[in-house]
Amino acid sequence: ATLHSHGLRLHGFGVKTQGLSDYGPSLYSADSMAWSVDGRRNAPLPGHTHKNCANCPDWALAWRQRVLDAIEKGMTAPRQLSLL
CB contact set of 15 (below 8 Å; sequence gap of 6+): 24, 27, 30, 31, 32
Domain ranges of the chain: 2-76
pLDDT at 65: 92
Instruction: Give the global pTM.
Output: 0.67
More confident residue, 51 or 1: 51
CB 71 within 8 A of CB 20: yes
What average pLDDT score do residues 8-19 get? 87
Give per-residue pLDDT as tens, 46-71: 999 999 999 999 999 998 898 888 87
